[in-house]
Chains A and B, each alone.
Chain A
Amino acid sequence: MITFLIFLAILLAVTAIVQMLSIYDLTSAIKGRKAFEVTERENKMQAFLWLIFVPSYFIFILWQYLVWGKYMLPESASVHGEKIDGLFATTWLIIIPVFIITHSLLAYFCFKYVYNKDRKASFFAHNNKLELAWTVIPSLTLATLILYGLKTWNSVMSPIPDEADKVTIELFARQFDWTARYAGEDEKLGRSHFRLIKGFNALGVDSSDANAHDDILVKGEFHLPVNKPVEFVFRSQDVIHSAYMPHFRAQMNCVPGMATLFNFIPRYTTAEMKQKTSNENFDYILLCNKICGAAHYNMQMKIIVESEEDYNKWLSSQKRFLASN
C-alpha cells in the first residue's frame, strides 16, 4: 500500500512538472521570446547565486571541521608518524590557500563579468608571461613538496638497523581474523608453509624448525612495548588483506604467497593516549583495509602499548607454540 502511494506521489509530481513545462513553453511562445534566450535578469540571478554559493561552500567545510574535526585521528602514536603529520600539515598549508583563492576568483569572475549586451568581452587569447608564471610557480611549489615527500618516505620506509634491539611480530591475516605471532626469545620467526595450516596450527608453522619452538601466537589483542622498534612481517593465507593501524600511521598489505614488511616505534602507551584524547575508552586498533569478503568490515584486533616491563610480563604469560601443539 505504502509503495503504491509512493508511486502515485511520484507519478503526480512528474505530471505536474511536465504540465508546468508545457505552460512555460506556451507562455514564452506567446510572449515571442526565444526558448533558449537567457534573459538579463536570469543571468544576474545565476551570477549572484555563484557569489553566495562559494562562501557557503567554505562555511560548510568549516562547519564540518568544527563539528567533526575533533574526531579525526589524534596526534601520531609512532615516531615516524610525526614526520608524516608534519608533511601532512605542510601539504594542507599549500592546498587551503590555493583552494580559497581559486574558488574566490571563480565566484568573483562569475559575478563581475556577467552578460551585459552593451559590453564586449576582452579578446585576450594568450599571454606568454602569464602562462609561464603559472607553469613555473606550481612547478617550484611541487618541487618542494616532492623533495619533502620523498625525504619523509625514505625515512619512514627505512629498515631497522641490524644491531638495534627490536621486537619481531608476524601479523597473519585470513578471512576474517588476525593472528599475531611473536618471535620469542631468539627473535627469529620459525619457518612456515601454507600446506601445514591445519586446525590448531593456524599459521602453518613448521614445528621441525627450532626457531619456531618459542614462537607465541595470540588472537584478539596483541601488545607492544613503548619506545622500542617493532618489526612487522605481514602474511595472508587466502585473499589480500591490509593491516591498517591508523594511530601509528602504519599500513601494509597482506598478500598470499609473499611476506611484506613495515616497522615503527610506538611513542605513547595506551594509558597515555587515553589521557591525550581524554577518552577513557580509547584503544589502538588494527583493522583490515583491503576488501576481503563479506565480513571485511569487522576484521579487527586490539593493540595495547605498554611499558616494556608490563609487556614482558604479558608476553611470558602467553603459551609457547610448542606447548600449545
Chain B
Amino acid sequence: MSTTHAEHSHHEQSFITKYVFSQDHKMIAKQFLITGFLMGFIGMMMSVLFRLQLGWPGESFPILTFLLGENWAPDGVLTPDKYLALVTIHGTIMVFFLLTAGLSGTFSNLLIPLQLGARDMASGFLNMLSYWFFFLSSIIMLVSLGVEGGPASAGWTIYPPLSALPQAIPGSGLGMTLWLVSMAIFIVSSLLGSLNYIVTILNLRTKGMKMTRMPLTIWAFLITAILGVLTFPVLLSAALLLIFDRSFETSFYLSDIVVAGTALDFNGGSPILFEHLFWFLGHPEVYIVLLPSLGLTSEIISVNARKPIFGYRAMIGSMLTIAFISIIVWGHHMFVTGMNPFLGAVFTFTTLLVAIPSAVKVFNYLTTLWKGNIRFTPAMLFAVGLISTFISGGLTGLILGDSALDINVHDTYFVVGHFHIVMGLSAVFGMYAGAYHWFPKLFGRMMNHNLGKAHFWLTITSVYGVFLPMHFIGLAGVPRRYYSNSAFPLFDSFIDLNEIVSAFAILAAFAQVLFFINFVYSALRGPKATQNPWDSNTLEWTTPVEHIHGNWPGDIPAVHRWPYDYSKPGAASDFIPQTVPLSEYEKDEGH
C-alpha cells in the first residue's frame, strides 16, 4: 500500500463521520454485526410466534394480539395468511439479512484488512455505501410489515403467480412491492461489498502475504464474494422481471390465469422460468451463507486445538469445488416441476457430487482435532458445534439431492429440518463462533465465558430439539408452509411432537437472550482485552486493542510464514505469529 499511516490518522473526525457515515472497515463491521443481529433477533421472534400456532393450533395467545395487533391475530389466534407472512419474512430475514449481510458484512469487513495487513478496504466509500444500502433495505423490509395487506407472504422463494397476484394472497400487494424493492437494494449492497472484498484481497496484501499464506477465513470470504458477484445479479433480473409482470402487465412468468373468478390477460409466460432464475442464486446462496462460517471455524478450530488446520490446500480446494458445483445444481429444487427427466438426472448427478468436497472438509476438521490440545472457549464450542450440524444436516442432503427420493420428501417438513440444520444452524454457529472469538478485536473487551458456555449448550440442545423431530414429521408426509395440520386426521399423531418442537423453539429463543445480555454488557463494561488473547498467529492480533484509523501505528508488518504454525516442533511456544521470520532450520509450511 502506498498511503502511509501518517496521512491516515491526522484528520480529526466528527461524531457523524466516525460512528454513522464511517468509512473505517472496523466500524462498518460493527454496524453490520449489530444490524444483522437485530434483524436476526426479529426473525427469531417471528419463528417463536408462528411456532405457537403450530404447536397449539387454534389456541388463543393474547401475546400474539398484543405484539401483532387485531388484524393479524384476532383473539390471540394468528390468521392463516399472516402465518404465511411471518414465515416468509422470517425466512427472508434469516437467509439474507442475518446470514448474508450480517455474516459476510461483519467478518469480511473486519478481517480482510486486518488479516491481510491492509490499512483499510480498497474503497472505504463503497464500503460505507454497502452498509447504508443494507440498512435501507432492512428498514424497507421492516416497514413492509406494517402496510395494507401485510408483507410478502408467498414464501421466501416468492414464486409467481402467487407473488404476482394480490387477488391470490393479500401480501402480494404493496407488501410484495416493498419486498422486491428492499431486495433490489439489498443486492446492490451485497454487490458493492463483494467487489470491494475481491479487490482488496487481490491487491492489498502486505509484503510476504502470498495467496497461499492467507488464513482460510480470507479464502472463504474471497470465494463467497465471487459466488455472490456471479449469482446475485441473476436474482436481481428475476426480481425486475417480476416487477414488470406485477406493475406493467408484461407476461414473463404468467399465462392462462383465472383468479377470483376473472380471467387475466397474461399470455405465454412461465412461472418455471422464475424458478430457474431464482434458484440460480438461491442454491449458491446457501453456500454464500455457509462458506464464511466454514472459514471462520477453520481458523477458530486451528487456534484452539493449538494445531495447524489439517489439509490447508485441500480445504481451499474443497471450498473452490463446492462453490463451483453449487452454481450447477439449482435444478434440484425443481425435480417435481415437470422438468425433463433427463435434466433431473443431470442435476442429481451434480448435486450428489457436492458431498465429496463436503466430506473432505468434515474429515479435515476431525483430523485437526485429533491429537490437538483443545481449549474450549465459547468460540471453540460453537465451532465444534458447527462440525456436528454440518454432518447432521449434510447427510440428509443425500436424500433430497437424489431426484427419485425427492419426489416424496420435496416441500415436506423433512426439508425444513434439513436446511435449518445444515445451513441455518451451521451458519449461525459459525457466526456466533466468530462473534465470541473476534469480540476482543471488535470491542476491545472480553465476553463472559460462563454465559457463553451456557449459551452454547442451551442453544445446541434446544435447536436440535426443534429441527430433528421435523425430519420424522416430514417422513409422515406433512407439508411445509402449513398453517396447521389439523385439517388432516392422518397427522394427528404428531400433536405432541409439535408441542415439543415449539417448546424447544421457545427455549432456543431464551438462550439467545443470554448472548444478547453478554454481548451488550461486555461491549460496555466487560474486562479489557489484551492484544492477543487467544495466542493466535494471524495479523489482526498485532494491531493495538484500541481501534485506530489505518490499523497499525507504524509500518504494516511483513509476513514470513503461513498462519498455522501452532505447536511446531522445536519452537519454544505453541504458536509462531506470521510476522516471525523463518529460522534457518524451518521449512515454509505454506509452500
User: Pick the contact of A95 from B374, B398, B521 — CB < 8 Å?
Assistant: B398
User: Pick the contact of A91 from B388, B399, B479 — CB < 8 Å?
Assistant: B399
User: Pick the contact of B360 from A17, A68, A135 — CB < 8 Å?
Assistant: A135
* Nearest chain B residue, comparing its CB with the CB of A135: B360
Q: Which residues of the partner chain A approach B349 to less than 8 Å between Cβ atoms?
A: 146, 150
Find residues 466-509 in chain B having any chain A CB closer than 8 Å to their own CB: 468-469, 472-473, 475-477, 479, 481-485, 487-490, 493-494, 497
Say yes or no for B179: interface residue by CB 8 A criterion: no
If A121-B574, A145-B402, A157-B344 touch, whether A69 touches B162 (CB-CB below 8 Å) is no
A125 touches B348 (CB 8 A): no
A293 touches B525 (CB 8 A): no
B391 touches A99 (CB 8 A): yes
Find residues 99-156 in chain A having any chain B CB closer than 8 Å to their own CB: 99, 102-103, 105-106, 109-110, 113-116, 119-127, 130-131, 134-135, 138-139, 142, 145-146, 149-150, 152-154, 156
Find residues 548-591 in chain B having any chain A CB closer than 8 Å to their own CB: 564, 566-569, 574, 589
Kindly provide the distance from the CB of A266 to the nearest chain B CB, expressed in whole angstroms: 15
User: Pick the contact of B371 from A115, A121, A294 — CB < 8 Å?
Assistant: A121
A49 touches B338 (CB 8 A): no
User: Pick the contact of B408 from A99, A138, A249, A295 — CB < 8 Å?
Assistant: A249
Q: Which residues of the partner chain A approach B254 to less than 8 Å between Cβ atoms?
A: 256-257
* Nearest chain A residue, comparing its CB with the CB of B57: A297
Q: Which residues of the partner chain B approach A106 to less than 8 Å between Cβ atoms?
A: 366, 369, 384, 387-388, 391
Chain A: residues with Cβ within 8 Å of the partner, total of 121
Q: Which residues of the partner chain B approach A124 to less than 8 Å between Cβ atoms?
A: 307-308, 310, 367, 370-371
A35 to B391, CA, bound (A): 33
A297 to B480, CA, bound (A): 9
Q: Which residue, of B412, B482, B485, has the highest number of chain A Cβ atoms within 10 A?
A: B482
* Nearest chain A residue, comparing its CB with the CB of B376: A46
A272 to B473, CA, bound (A): 24
A281 touches B355 (CB 8 A): no
If A110-B374, A125-B308, A131-B360 touch, whether A239 touches B162 (CB-CB below 8 Å) is yes
Kindly provide the distance from the CB of B508 to the nearest chain A CB, expressed in whole angstroms: 15
Say yes or no for A314: interface residue by CB 8 A criterion: no
B488 touches A38 (CB 8 A): no
Kindly provide the distance from the CB of A58 to the nearest chain B CB, expressed in whole angstroms: 11
User: Pick the contact of B337 from A38, A102, A116, A253 — CB < 8 Å?
Assistant: A253
Mark contacts of B306-336 with chain A using CB atoms, 8 A cut-off: 1 yes-contact digit, 0 otherwise: 1111111110000000000000000000001
Mark contacts of A45-88 with chain B using CB atoms, 8 A cut-off: 1 yes-contact digit, 0 otherwise: 01101100110010011001100110111000000010110011
A149 touches B402 (CB 8 A): yes
Say yes or no for B146: interface residue by CB 8 A criterion: no
Q: Which residues of the partner chain B approach A103 to less than 8 Å between Cβ atoms?
A: 388, 391-392
Find residues 279-315 in chain A having any chain B CB closer than 8 Å to their own CB: 281, 283, 285, 287-298, 300
A234 to B344, CA, bound (A): 19
Find residues 233-281 in chain A having any chain B CB closer than 8 Å to their own CB: 234, 237-240, 242, 244, 246-247, 249-253, 255-258, 260-261, 281
If A103-B388, A123-B567, A124-B310 touch, whether A71 touches B353 (CB-CB below 8 Å) is no
A35 touches B567 (CB 8 A): no
Say yes or no for A36: interface residue by CB 8 A criterion: yes
Kindly provide the distance from the CB of A257 to the nearest chain B CB, expressed in whole angstroms: 3
Kindly provide the distance from the CB of A242 to the nearest chain B CB, expressed in whole angstroms: 7
If A98-B395, A125-B589, A257-B269 touch, whether A238 touches B161 (CB-CB below 8 Å) is yes
Kindly provide the distance from the CB of A103 to the nearest chain B CB, expressed in whole angstroms: 7
A157 to B476, CA, bound (A): 23
Say yes or no for B229: interface residue by CB 8 A criterion: no
Q: Which residue, of A119, A126, A127, has the highest number of chain B Cβ atoms within 10 A?
A: A126
Kindly provide the distance from the CB of A135 to the nearest chain B CB, expressed in whole angstroms: 6
* Nearest chain B residue, comparing its CB with the CB of A17: B517
Say yes or no for B184: interface residue by CB 8 A criterion: no
Mark contacts of B271-303 with chain A using CB atoms, 8 A cut-off: 1 yes-contact digit, 0 otherwise: 110000000000000000000000000000000
Mark contacts of A1-13 with chain B using CB atoms, 8 A cut-off: 1 yes-contact digit, 0 otherwise: 0110000000000
Say yes or no for B159: interface residue by CB 8 A criterion: yes
Say yes or no for A21: interface residue by CB 8 A criterion: yes
B366 touches A121 (CB 8 A): no
* Nearest chain B residue, comparing its CB with the CB of A196: B263
A130 touches B367 (CB 8 A): yes
Mark contacts of B348-383 with chain A using CB atoms, 8 A cut-off: 1 yes-contact digit, 0 otherwise: 110011011001101110110111111111000100
B567 touches A257 (CB 8 A): no
Q: Which residues of the partner chain A approach B404 to less than 8 Å between Cβ atoms?
A: 83-84, 87, 149, 152-153, 156
Say yes or no for A22: interface residue by CB 8 A criterion: yes
Say yes or no for A322: interface residue by CB 8 A criterion: no
Q: Which residues of the partner chain B approach A57 to less than 8 Å between Cβ atoms?
A: 388, 464
Q: Which residues of the partner chain B approach A64 to less than 8 Å between Cβ atoms?
A: 468-469, 472, 497
A17 touches B514 (CB 8 A): yes
Q: Which residues of the partner chain A approach B440 to less than 8 Å between Cβ atoms?
A: 36
Mark contacts of B244-263 with chain A using CB atoms, 8 A cut-off: 1 yes-contact digit, 0 otherwise: 00000000001111110001
A121 touches B407 (CB 8 A): no
User: What are 24 of the A-B contact pairs (CB < 8 Å)?
Assistant: A22-B525, A24-B448, A61-B468, A71-B472, A83-B404, A88-B399, A91-B399, A98-B395, A99-B391, A113-B371, A113-B374, A119-B373, A125-B309, A125-B589, A126-B311, A131-B360, A142-B353, A149-B402, A153-B404, A175-B168, A239-B159, A239-B162, A246-B476, A297-B80
Identify 20 new A-B residue pairs, CB closer than 8 A, beyond the known A106-B384, A293-B168.
A35-B446, A35-B448, A36-B533, A43-B376, A65-B472, A95-B396, A113-B305, A123-B568, A124-B370, A125-B311, A130-B363, A131-B314, A146-B349, A149-B404, A153-B404, A195-B263, A238-B165, A238-B168, A255-B270, A297-B485
A residues adjacent to B (C-beta < 8 A): 2-3, 14, 17-18, 21-22, 24-25, 28-29, 34-36, 38, 42-43, 46-47, 49-50, 53-54, 57, 60-61, 64-65, 68-69, 71-73, 81, 83-84, 87-88, 91, 94-95, 98-99, 102-103, 105-106, 109-110, 113-116, 119-127, 130-131, 134-135, 138-139, 142, 145-146, 149-150, 152-154, 156-158, 174-175, 194-195, 197, 204, 234, 237-240, 242, 244, 246-247, 249-253, 255-258, 260-261, 281, 283, 285, 287-298, 300
A-B pairs, top 3 by smallest CB distance, nearest first, are A246-B477, A257-B255, A260-B338
